[in-house]
Amino acid sequence: MSTLYELRGEVAVVKLNNPPVNGLSHALRTHVVSAIDAANADPKVKATVLIGSEQAFSGGADIREFNTPKAFAEPNLHTALGVVEASDKPVIAAISGACMGGGLELALACHYRVATEDAQIALPEVKLGILPGAGGTQRLPRVVGVETALNMIVSGEPVPAKKFEGSALFDQVVPGNLLEAALEFANRVADKRPLKKVRDIKIDYPNAEAFFQFARNTVGAMTKNYPAPKKCIDAVAAAVSKPFDEGIQLEAQYFQELVQSPESKALRHAFFGERAASKIADVPEGTKTRAIEKVGVIGAGLMGGGIAMNFLNAGIPVVLLEVKQEALDKGLAQIRKNYEGTLKKGKLTQEQLDTRMGLITPTLSYDSFQDVDLVIEAVFEDIGVKEKVFKQLDAVCKPGAILASNTSTLDMNKIAAFTKRPGDVVGLHFFSPANVMKLLEVVRGAKTEKDVLATVMGLAKKIKKTAVVSGVCDGFIGNRMLELYMRQTQFLVEEGATPWQVDRALEKWGMAMGPFRMIDMAGGDIGWAIRKRRYQEQPDLSYAKLPDVLCEMGRFGQKTGAGWYKYEAGRRDAIPDPIVERLIEDYRKEKGIKPRKISDDEIVQRCILALTNEGAKILEEGIAQRASDVDMVYLTGYGFPVFRGGPMFYADMLGSYNVVRLMTRFEKETGDKYWKPAPLLQKLADEGKSFSG
Ligand SMILES: NC(=O)c1ccc[n+]([C@@H]2O[C@H](COP(=O)([O-])OP(=O)(O)OC[C@H]3O[C@@H](n4cnc5c(N)ncnc54)[C@H](O)[C@@H]3O)[C@@H](O)[C@H]2O)c1
């Protein structure tokens, strides 16, 4: 037979070989089943060792087979586990690297387990809105105890094998030389009968009822929009209260329920969306990248400081430039203050803080940029200022250095044209706070080189961002869509809702922050400036003028102590303001608007579908590569609830036909021409299709 099945004395060594993580593909499951059959049929064999690679025993299901018939084709995971457990001869799992999900469930169906100390053990299914469906919820509590198992299943987080030394999960934990240790162990237990099966272990847990009640209360409060964690508790409770086979049946039933839940569908969409976003159609994998060993940041203000921190956290030195010493000192002090906050929370040591601060070279001179590999400017949002900056960069930076702008609204092609090397210019649009927010819009200019794109996409991973490529347009993907969402929120107030009703409805639906609280936090003046430009550029798109009335009164939000809400000194709680209520009433009277009662449903649908419609236009224009990219922008940069999957996925869940019907109704009722469905959306509805296909 092949090298995947070898005899070592009286022990059959069965190699799991499906790189990179030994995902339990149809081929791998077939291999396991036939290897066990072969071992049982061979009189020379007394025991079998299942072993993976150094990186992984098995990372679980093979994600490449997700949503294909192969995922559940026979031998499915249940069959494979059954064959292993029922083997006449002992099966020993030899575990190193990742042992997760179905991989751990496979190991638990073996009769013995030997692991290296640093093997990583996890049941991460909950992160995809499901639960371990191949016995994990029934077997893990039997070997590590109910509380530890529940923690692992509800959190999905990995635990090093060393932590389980002495538990029934591992018969032996070894520092290294896994195969030799497993062979020695196999020879020792080869003749022992009856065979040890995890299913036969009795769970003795006298306080079960009180414990599970407590778990339901805490987990319920922490994960209220997600059904999976609660089902995990029910499944583990069944492991305690029911015989093994009944527990397995319940687990299978819960698994089926969860797989069908919209929340799990949304989480899986986000999981694949994240992977898809890193791919650019015409930039093949393996495109040569440029080395980024030193980064320059211009402007140590709100964004520049946060941007610099990303690189410091990844151990990459940063040269930080400002125009005045005072601004430089202020920026550095803010970075230090941020790190000190993390230190106080115990998430950073003093040594790490010192190392990170030590990686910064503060400067007032462009000469310090001669050897940087990438520069990101975060100076004032003014094309004149950007022009000066890019001309200076063009003069001092070495050939091949990537020149990036953090602009939110300016034309990246114009900025690139300020240099003699537009191919090296790219937009890197971070979101505030830049050291926290996951999203990075990578703005691809008309001339941006492919290796520049490949480089920044790789770098984004290194600094733990979700990078999404956007073409050049006003506002790129995220802010361009936000504009239309905000526009609806204003109309809703004009027509009869209060700002707090709109905020409450959207927050209840799952948005991290209501739009009016968001404006007050970001500063109403920012949107005002953009709208003034829009009034000129898009005279046929109407806007409610209420927010302008507020801005004219100097009510910019938290920073002026009043905006849509009022604020008490030193506090951020948004308090509904009777003055604003009166202002709205007067405004309606003046405009002859008779207020009507608006339902929370209408609020949510008008706001979210405004995002969808603009997202569809962005797709048609090729600004975004795929619908899931648009969703990733909203999930990682705009507080869109992950369990809803994003504005495009939400439309898919409603169905494109229903979305178009709703939009047509809104157009009729409000007279707003924006509700004419984007041609792409109309086409999907006509053809009975969805964005996600
Ligand atoms: N604030 C946000 O939420 C946000 C989000 C994404 C992108 N942006 C973009 O980031 C950029 C910076 O915004 P910010 O909010 O950090 O502004 P900011 O005013 O907080 O900081 C700008 C900094 O740049 C410095 N500066 C100005 N001109 C300079 C020059 N010629 N050389 C060196 N330094 C100079 C200023 O001293 C100031 O410290 C803008 O392009 C903005 O559109 C902002």
For the stretch 238-268, pLDDT in tens is: 999 999 999 999 999 999 999 999 999 999 9
For the cut 90, the answer to whether the pLDDT of residue 508 exceeds it is: yes
Q: Is 209 a catalytic residue?
A: no
In angstroms, how far is CA 380 from the centroid of its own chain? 30
Helix (H) or strand (E) holding 442: strand 439-443
Tokens found for residue 46: 């007394």
Among protein residues, the one whose CA lies closest to atom 29 of ligand 1? 379
- For strands 466-470 and 374-377, give the pairing: unpaired
How far is the C-alpha of 4 from the C-alpha of 1, rounded, in Å? 8
Q: How far, in Å, is the centroid of ligand 1 from the Cα of 433?
A: 13
**CA within 13 Å, CB half, 54:** 3
CB 44 within 8 A of CB 79: no
Does 312 score more than 80 pLDDT? yes
202 secondary structure, DSSP code:
P
Q: Out of 329, 379, 556, give the residue to mutate to test ligand 1, the one with the largest number of ligand atoms within 8 Å of its CB.
A: 379
Give the model's pLDDT for residue 142.
98
Neighbours of 506 (CB within 10 A): 26
Tell me how far the alpha carbon of residue 513 lies from the centroid of ligand 1, in angstroms.
24
Nearest CA to ligand 1 atom 7: 408
d(CA 363, CA 365): 6
Round to whole Å and give the CA distance between 266 and 285. 27
Q: How far away, in angstroms, is 298 Cα from ligand 1 center?
A: 8
DSSP letter (8 states) at residue 673: G
* C-alpha span between 359 and 159 (Å, rounded): 32
Q: How far is CA 30 from CA 144, 281, 389, in A?
A: 29, 34, 61
pLDDT of residue 527: 86
Instruction: Using the atom order of ligand 1, give the atom closest to the CA of residue 331.
Output: 39
Torsion of CA 218, 221, 227, 232, to 10 degrees: -10
Choose the catalytic residue: 105, 251, 441, 483.
Answer: 105
Burial group, residue 10, by CB count within 10 angstroms (0-12, 13-18, 19+) = middle
228, 129 contact by CB (below 8 A): yes
Tokens of 379: 């100076």
630 CA from centroid of ligand 1 (Å): 26
User: Where does the pLDDT of residue 541 fall: very low under 50, low under 70, confident under 90, or very high at 90 and above?
Assistant: confident
Q: Which atom of ligand 1 is nearest to the CA of 377?
A: 11
Q: If you average pLDDT over residues 636-647, what whole number do you get?
A: 98
Confidence of residue 1 (pLDDT cuts 50, 70, 90): very low
CA distance 128 to 134: 15
pLDDT at 581 over 60: yes
Among residues 485, 489, 482, the alpha carbon closest in space to that of 547 is found at: 489
Q: Tokens 């040569």 label which residue?
A: 288
Q: What is the pLDDT of residue 2?
A: 62
What's the gap in Å between 487 CA and the centre of ligand 1?
26
* Most informative mutation of 303, 309, 392 for ligand 1 (most atoms within 8 A of CB): 303
pLDDT of residue 43: 97
Mean per-residue pLDDT over the chain, rounded: 96
Residue with the smallest CA separation from ligand 1 atom 10 is: 378
- DSSP H helices, 262-324, are 262-277, 302-313
Q: Dihedral sign, CA of 401, 404, 410, 412?
A: positive
The burial of 406, by beta-carbon neighbours within 10 Å (0-12 exposed, 13-18 middle, 19 or more buried), is given as buried
Ligand 1 center to 385 CA (angstroms) = 10
Q: Residues lining ligand 1, judged by CB closer than 6 Å?
A: 298-304, 321-323, 327, 378-381, 385, 389, 406-408, 430-432
Residues listed for the chain: 693
Taking residues 290-309, report their average pLDDT.
97
Q: Which helix (H) or strand (E) holds 149?
A: helix 146-155
C-alpha 310 to ligand 1 mean position (Å): 16
Q: What is the mean pLDDT of residues 144-149?
A: 97
Could you read off the pLDDT of 94-119 as tens digits, one per residue? 999 999 999 999 999 999 999 999 99
**Band of pLDDT at residue 542, cut at 50, 70 and 90:** confident
Please tell me the residue having the least CA distance from ligand 1 atom 9: 407
**Residue 614: active-site member:** no
Q: Whose CA is nearest to atom 33 of ligand 1?
A: 322
> Taking a C-beta distance cutoff of 8 angstroms, is the pair 22, 16 a contact?
yes
- Max Cα distance, the chain (Å): 95
Q: CB within 8 A of 234, min separation 6: which ones?
A: 250, 254
* Ligand 1 mutation pick, 302, 376, 388, max ligand atoms within 8 A of CB: 302
pLDDT of residue 98: 98
Q: What is the pLDDT of residues 37-70, one digit of tens each?
A: 999 999 999 999 999 999 999 999 998 898 899 9
Local structure of 578: helix, strand or coil: helix
Joined together, the tokens standing for residue 169 give 């999960």
**How many angstroms is it from 450 CA to the middle of ligand 1?**
27
Cα dihedral across residues 539, 543, 544, 550: positive or negative: negative
For ligand 1, what atom is nearest to the CA of residue 303? 16
| pLDDT reading at 26 higher than 50 | yes
Cα separation, 240 vs 77, in Å, equals 23
CA distance 419 to 88: 73
Closest-lying ligand 1 atom to the alpha carbon of residue 432: 3
Q: What's the half-sphere exposure (Cβ side, CA atoms, 13 Å) at 210?
A: 3
Structural contact between residues 444 and 423, judged by C-beta atoms closer than 8 angstroms:
no
Q: Which residues contact 184 (CB under 8 A, 6 or more apart)?
A: none
Catalytic residue among 74, 85, 117, 125: 125
Q: How confident is the model at residue 227 (pLDDT cuts 50, 70, 90)?
A: very high
**Which helix (H) or strand (E) segment is 360 a member of?**
strand 360-363
Which residues lie across from 15 on neighbouring strands?
A: 51
Give the model's pLDDT for residue 535: 87
Q: How confident is the model at residue 537 (pLDDT cuts 50, 70, 90)?
A: confident
Return all residues near 530 (Cβ < 8 A) that are at least 6 apart. 409, 483
